[in-house]
Amino acid sequence: MKPLVINFQKCSIHDGPGIRSTVFFKGCPLECVWCHNPESQRYTKEVLYNRERCSGCERCIQICPHDAIISENGTVGLDKNKCELCETCLDYCINNAREIVGDEYTVKELLKMIEKDRMFYEESGGGVTLSGGEVMAQDMDFVCALAEGCHNKGIDVAIDTCGYAPKENYERIMKYADRFLYDMKLIDDEKHIKFTGKSNKKILENLKFLSDNGAYINIRIPLIVGVNVDDDNEEVMKMIEVLKGLNIKAVNLLPYHDIGKHKYTKLYMNYEGEAFEKPSDDKMDEIKSLFEKNNFSNVKIGG
């Protein structure tokens, strides 16, 4: 089965340099507690329920052939074990309160969409960013064919990755990728497992592999009070020590936000990041200064 795409975002300015088209693939091996794209976590299609559009007519409950839609605390619930994504409920909802997340495209179709904005890439120094979910955990024949197609057309290719994928996947994509937007969340492995569900050993090994092989690496660090930000900057200093010995071209410090929180309700999921906080502006400046004092010359807040 082809990888699923949850969004094709045009004119993006946050996923690499210049104006870009970003392809968001569905499916990620990590389960970050603060994830702002929960619809990208699973590799399969999902039902998204917009409660604000629902009139409560319960027609969807009546017509669901698998009895997967249920009445639940005055609203419409879903038994995910019974739902077969037949889309019958979509056909009968007059308010369009339900939709299926995840679409299939061919490589040819995506290349055609990407090439439409080629003028913007050339004028701005932009290109295409393959993101997720986790692009490097998808069907690599598909991903490499897409990256190669862009590369052969002279379009800059950025790989936005959490680093948790087989090393051979990075070996395959390197010849077509102009840059890697590489996430770093935590160095403490126990904390990494606690907050993402996976060890960071593979992530750090892949990062070193890319560095050793001359890849352009742009590190991106989500900064979250209670996860990797504290008064003593302990975790931040651990990151700096690891990164100092690597070929890092740029660092983006990304303050925590919860703008994706509303998506959890739509996916019948619970958001577990309520206790998290965004670092203060002063704290962000302090962390930026720590990187600069350790000879990182291209450090930005945001991006």
What's residue 1's pLDDT? Answer: 67
Residue 74: is its pLDDT beyond 80? no
- Which tens digit of pLDDT belongs to each residue from 136-182? 999 999 999 999 999 999 999 999 999 999 999 999 999 999 999 99
Final residue belonging to a domain, choices 57, 78, 101? 101
Do 180 and 235 lie in one domain? The reply is yes
- Which tens digit of pLDDT belongs to each residue from 237-283? 999 999 998 999 999 999 999 888 989 999 989 998 888 999 999 99
Do 165 and 92 lie in one domain? The reply is no
Do 178 and 35 lie in one domain? The reply is yes
pTM of the model: 0.94
SS (H, E, C) the chain: CCCEEEEEEEEECCCCCCCEEEEEECCCCCCCCCCCCHHHCCCCCEEEECHHHCCCCCHHHHHCCCCCEEEECCEEEECCCCCCCCCHHHHHCCCCCEEEECEECCHHHHHHHHHCCHHHHHHHCCEEEEECCCHHHCCHHHHHHHHHHHHHCCCEEEEEECCCCCHHHHHHHCCCCCEEEEECCCCCHHHHHHHHCCCCHHHHHHHHHHHHCCCCEEEEEEECECCCECCCCHHHHHHHHHHHCCCEEEEEEEECCCCCCHHHHHCCCCCCCCCCECCCHHHHHHHHHHHHHCCCCCEEECC
What's residue 169's pLDDT? Answer: 98
- Which tens digit of pLDDT belongs to each residue from 1-53? 689 999 999 999 989 999 999 999 999 999 999 999 999 999 999 999 998 89
**Domain count across the chain:** 2
Do 56 and 163 lie in one domain? The reply is no
Mean per-residue pLDDT, 182-199: 97
What's residue 303's pLDDT? Answer: 83
Final residue belonging to a domain, choices 101, 120, 146? 101
Domain region containing 150: 4-42+105-301
**Using 50, 70 and 90 to split pLDDT, how confident is the model at 56?**
confident
Do 80 and 34 lie in one domain? The reply is no
Do 207 and 82 lie in one domain? The reply is no
Do 147 and 63 lie in one domain? The reply is no
Do 113 and 30 lie in one domain? The reply is yes
- Which tens digit of pLDDT belongs to each residue from 96-150? 999 999 999 999 999 999 999 999 999 999 999 999 999 999 999 999 999 999 9
Kindly report the CATH number assigned to the domain that includes residue 86: 3.30.70.20
Do 69 and 169 lie in one domain? The reply is no
Kindly report the CATH number assigned to the domain that includes residue 126: 3.20.20.70
Do 178 and 92 lie in one domain? The reply is no
Do 72 and 11 lie in one domain? The reply is no
Final residue belonging to a domain, choices 101, 119, 141? 101
Mean per-residue pLDDT, 202-229: 97
Do 214 and 244 lie in one domain? The reply is yes
